Amino acid sequence: MNPLVALTVAGTDSGGAAGVAADLATFAALGAHGTCAVTAVTAQDTTGVRAVVQLSADHVQAQVDAVLNDLPVAVAKAGMLGAVAVAGVVADLPPGLPLVVDPVLRTSSGAVLADDALVTAYRDHVLPRCTVVTPNLAEARRLAGAGSEEPPVDVALALHALGPAVVLTGGDPEADWCRDLVVDDRGRAHVLEHAGVPTTNDHGTGCTFSAALAVHLARGEPLPTATRAAQAFVAAALRRSAGWRLGRGRGLVAHTFVPPTQEV
Ligand SMILES: Nc1ncnc2c1ncn2[C@@H]1O[C@H](COP(=O)(O)OP(=O)(O)OP(=O)(O)O)[C@@H](O)[C@H]1O
Ligand SMILES: Cc1ncc(CO)c(N)n1
C-alpha cells in the first residue's frame, strides 16, 4: 500500500527545529511521505535568525510543479513564504488540493519574516484559497487587522470570514492548560483545551502542529478531531525534548522518535 503524500511549501531552519525540517520529520512520523518546495533558506539557530536568502517565485513554482506532476499529493501545507510572489504560487495551487497555511510572520525570537505587503497578500490571496489557517494570536491579529482589545474569538471569526477554517493556537510554556480555538468550515467555534507541557524547549511547535494537522485532515478526520490529534503529537514531542539542553537559546521541540544514542 502506498503512503499518503504531503507537500510542504516552506523555508529551511538550519537549526533543524522549524520549517521544512519540522514538516518532513512530522510527515514521516505520521506515516506520510513528505515532499518539499523550499521558499527561503534561513541561517538560523536556537538564538535567532541571522540571514535569509529568498528563492525566486519561479524556482518555488518549479519545485511545486516537479512534485505535483509526478506524485499523488493528497495535502499541502505552507509555512514561511517570505515574498509576495511566493504567496501567489501558494494561492495558485490546484483548487481541489487541501491546503493548511501556517502564517509565518515573525519568529518567537523576534525576527520579522513578513512585511506589510506580504501580510496583505496572505489576506487577499492565500487565506481565501486555503482550507485551514493556523495562526497564533499575534499573527491572527495582524492578519485580521485587529487591535489588542478584540477578543480572540472575534479575531478568529474575522479570519474565517475571509474563507478558511481557523485554528488559533494558544501555546504557552507557563500555562497549566493550552487553549486552541477552532472555527470550523461552518463558522462554529470550539475551544480545545489540553494540558500544557512545562518546557521552554518549544522552537518549532507551530510548524510541527500544522504539518500534523495536514496529515490528519488528509486522512478524512473532521477539523476538531484532527486538531486534537495534532495537539497530542506536539505535546508528546515537547515531553520528549523537555529535558534536553541543546543550544544557547530557546530549545528544540523533539523530532526524534527512538531513544537518544548519545548524551551531549
Ligand atoms: N508548552 C506547551 N504545552 C502543550 N502544548 C503546547 C505548548 N506550546 C505549544 N503547544 C501547542 O502547540 C501547537 C502550536 O501552537 P503555538 O501556539 O506554539 O504555535 P506558534 O506560536 O505558531 O509556534 P511557533 O513559535 O513555532 O511559531 C498548539 O496546539 C499549542 O497548543
Ligand atoms: C524557516 C522557518 N519557518 C518557520 C519558523 C517559525 O517559527 C521559523 N522560525 N523558521
- Whether residue 253 is contained in a domain is answered as no
Pair 113, 107: CB distance under 8 Å: yes
Which pairs with CB-CB distance under 8 Å and at least 24 residues apart come from 137-141?
A: 137/168, 137/170, 138/105, 138/106, 139/103, 139/105, 139/106, 140/166, 140/168
Is 107's C-beta closer than 6 angstroms to any atom of ligand 2? yes
- Summarised one tens digit per residue, pLDDT across range 173-213 is 788 999 999 999 999 999 999 999 999 999 999 999 999 99
The pLDDT value recorded for residue 253 is 95
The pLDDT value recorded for residue 193 is 96
- Whether residue 131 is contained in a domain is answered as yes
- Whether residue 151 is contained in a domain is answered as yes
- Summarised one tens digit per residue, pLDDT across range 153-169 is 999 999 999 999 999 99
140, containing H or E segment: helix 137-144
- Whether residue 115 is contained in a domain is answered as yes
If we measure between CA atoms, which residue out of 125, 104, 97 comes closest to residue 5? 97
Going from the Cα of 116 to the center of ligand 1, the distance in angstroms, rounded, reads 24
- Whether residue 155 is contained in a domain is answered as yes
- Whether residue 175 is contained in a domain is answered as no
- When divided into structural domains, the chain yields a total of 1
- Summarised one tens digit per residue, pLDDT across range 37-79 is 999 999 999 999 999 999 999 999 999 999 999 999 999 999 9
Residue 151 lies in domain: 5-165+199-241
Is 39's C-beta closer than 6 angstroms to any atom of ligand 2? no
Pair 106, 114: CB distance under 8 Å: yes
If we measure between CA atoms, which residue out of 104, 77, 73 comes closest to residue 90? 77
- Summarised one tens digit per residue, pLDDT across range 12-39 is 999 999 999 999 999 999 999 999 999 9
- Summarised one tens digit per residue, pLDDT across range 234-260 is 999 999 999 999 999 999 999 998 877
28, containing H or E segment: helix 19-29
The angle at the Cα of 211, spanning 91 to 238, to the nearest 5 degrees, equals 145
Which segments of 146-256 does DSSP mark as H helices, in order? 152-160, 205-218, 223-241
Cell numbers found for residue 221: 478526520
Residue range 119-137: mean pLDDT, rounded: 98
- Separation CA 197–CA 187 (nearest Å): 29
Pair 151, 183: CB distance under 8 Å: no
pLDDT band at 171 (very low <50, low <70, confident <90, very high): confident
Burial of 175 from C-beta contacts in 10 A (0-12 / 13-18 / 19+): middle
What ipTM does the predicted assembly reach? Answer: 0.98
- Separation CA 4–CA 227 (nearest Å): 18
The pLDDT value recorded for residue 191 is 96
The pLDDT value recorded for residue 173 is 79
The CATH code of the domain that includes 60 is 3.40.1190.20
The angle at the Cα of 152, spanning 75 to 138, to the nearest 5 degrees, equals 70
Instruction: Say if residue 263's pLDDT is above 70.
Output: no
Question: Distances from the Cα of 135 to the Cαs of 168, 205, 212, 233, in angstroms?
Answer: 5, 12, 15, 18
Residue with the nearest Cα to atom 2 of ligand 2?
19
The pLDDT value recorded for residue 162 is 98
pTM: 0.97
Residues 6+ apart with CB under 8 A from 153: 181, 183, 189
Q: Which of 104, 205, 250 has the most ligand 2 atoms within 8 A of CB, as the residue to mutate?
A: 104
Residue with the nearest Cα to atom 10 of ligand 1?
171
Pocket of ligand 1 (CB under 6 A): 18, 108, 136, 169-171, 173, 178, 180, 196-197, 199, 202, 204-207, 209, 231, 234-235, 238
Instruction: Say if residue 262's pLDDT is above 90.
Output: no
E strand map for the chain:
5-13, 33-45, 48-54, 73-78, 99-101, 132-133, 165-168, 177-183, 189-195
The pLDDT value recorded for residue 264 is 60
